[in-house]
């Protein structure tokens, strides 16, 4: 290690350089201040002010009915949206795992059932369409009532089948 000596500008020997380094390091450690405490807790209890006992201060806040209703509705809507989001997530997870085999196993039975329903429906419709002629044969006297009050009862079933019954 060849370090320049500033006093006489000659290189220091190894032992002189080691002694100078030791002097500089010891000088650094001697200048470090001692650690001091940065906090203090006073052990004396706080003084009491006056002789009056504490006064109870009850909390009687009134919530309007509309605010309570909005709060309950928002909780319900939030829970419903969370459930809907979970359902959408599950459906998307299922779509991510879709293979051709799984699609065929799911859709082929549905398509077969639909084909059977269409076949039965067309057969029933063709049977109904074959007998379209209506013959009216009257024998005896015809009774015509002039009742002006007629009540009509309407019965609606699934898939748009409506039956009107007049009495």
Percent of the chain with pLDDT over 90: 12
Residue 163 has pLDDT above 80, yes or no: no
- Dist. CA 44–CA 42, nearest whole Å: 6
Residue 5 has pLDDT above 60, yes or no: no
- Who wins on pLDDT, 57 or 117? 117
- Dist. CA 107–CA 98, nearest whole Å: 12
Written as six digits, the tokens of 144 are 């015509």
pTM of the model: 0.25
pLDDT digit string (tens) for 106-138?
A: 788 888 999 999 999 888 887 776 666 777 777
Task: Determine if residue 145 is left, alpha or beta; phi over 0 gives left, psi from -120 to 50 gives alpha, anything else beta.
Answer: beta
CB 77 within 8 A of CB 69: no
> At residue 156, what are phi and psi to the nearest 5 degrees?
-110, 130
> At residue 46, what are phi and psi to the nearest 5 degrees?
-70, 150
Query: pLDDT band for position 15 (50/70/90)?
Result: very high
Q: Residue 165's beta-bridge partner residues? A: 153
pLDDT digit string (tens) for 70-83?
A: 999 999 998 989 98
Cα separation of the two ends of the chain: 124
Residue 47 has pLDDT above 80, yes or no: no
CB 1 within 8 A of CB 17: yes
Across residues 135-147, what is the average pLDDT?
A: 70
Written as six digits, the tokens of 21 are 């380094």
């Amino acid at each position: 290690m060849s370090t320049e000596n500033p006093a006489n500008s000659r290189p220091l020997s190894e032992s002189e350089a080691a002694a100078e380094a030791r002097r500089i390091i010891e000088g650094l450690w001697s200048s470090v201040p001692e650690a001091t405490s940065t906090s203090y807790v006073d052990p004396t209890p706080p003084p009491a002010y006056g002789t009056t006992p504490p006064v109870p201060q009850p909390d009687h806040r009134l919530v309007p009915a509309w605010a309570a209703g909005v709060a309950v509705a928002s909780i319900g809507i939030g829970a419903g949206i969370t459930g809907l989001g979970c359902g959408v997530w599950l459906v998307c997870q299922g779509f991510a795992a879709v293979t051709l085999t799984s699609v065929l196993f799911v859709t082929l039975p549905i398509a077969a059932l639909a084909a059977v329903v269409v076949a039965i429906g067309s057969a029933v419709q063709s049977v109904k369409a074959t007998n379209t002629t209506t013959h009216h044969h009257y024998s005896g006297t015809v009774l015509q009532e002039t009742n002006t009050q007629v009540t009509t009862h309407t019965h609606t079933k699934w898939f748009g089948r409506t039956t009107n019954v007049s009495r």
